[in-house]
Amino acid sequence: MFALINVSVQAVAATPSGIKLFSKVVFMRQGRRFGLSAEQKLDVWRRWKAGQTLHEIGRAFGKEHSSIRCLVSRYGGIAPAVRRRSLLALTQREREEISRGLASGSSIREIAKCLERAVSTVSREVARHGGCPAYRASQADGEAWQSALRPKRCLLSINLKLRNIVASKLILDWSPKQISG
């Protein structure tokens, strides 16, 4: 039935000596991600509050529903409060006055008197943003706005147990005052 065949095998070098082998590492470029502008984010929250689904919102912006979910879930489904400056913080106009005062050679004490602010407030502002020769009002204002960000997340997004309790009370038509009490 079966015939044994005697085959002789000869080792062959498959790579000729004239060819140099090298490995090339190829890095894939990541596709461009276009986030949503502040105005678009407000529209997402408006649509979410109106009761649209993640898929409907995603279609409206040409995005996947998962990217919309990331935005919504980051804040626990509750639209974040609009950022605004503290009334105690220096305004853009005051920073411009500081910049002009420094350029004209006025002392920090004179600038503070003009602004009706404490000398220490003006002194710290100038020191925080590069000192007298390097102070730029618009740059200082942008840095101050950025540093005012807080990394605090909504308690409901952090604490699952609290979120479930609040959700169950809302289902029972409790008011926010009753829930927090």
Lowest mean pLDDT segment, chosen from 2-11, 57-66, 102-111, 119-128: 2-11
Q: What is the mean pLDDT of residues 98-117?
A: 95
pLDDT at residue number 49: 92
Instruction: Return the domain boundaries, the chain.
Output: 37-74, 92-144, 154-181
pLDDT band per the 50, 70, 90 thresholds, residue 157: confident
Q: What is the mean pLDDT of residues 122-138?
A: 93
Q: pLDDT tens for residues 65-74?
A: 998 999 899 8
pLDDT at residue number 4: 59
Q: pLDDT tens for residues 26-53?
A: 555 555 556 888 899 999 999 999 999 9
Dig out the tokens for 60 from the structure.
């409206």
Give the ranges where 24-118 is alpha helix by DSSP (H): 38-50, 54-61, 65-74, 92-104, 108-115
Q: What is the mean pLDDT of residues 112-130?
A: 95
Dig out the tokens for 81 from the structure.
């409060």
Helical packing angle, 92-104 and 137-147, nearest 10°: 140
Long-range (24+ apart) CB contacts under 8 A made by 161-164 are 163/76
Task: With a cut of 70, say whether residue 18 has pLDDT above it.
Answer: no
Dig out the tokens for 46 from the structure.
């408006």
User: CA of 94: how far to CAs of 44, 116, 128, in Å?
Assistant: 35, 10, 15
pLDDT at residue number 23: 54
pLDDT at residue number 106: 93
Task: With a cut of 60, say whether residue 86 has pLDDT above it.
Answer: yes
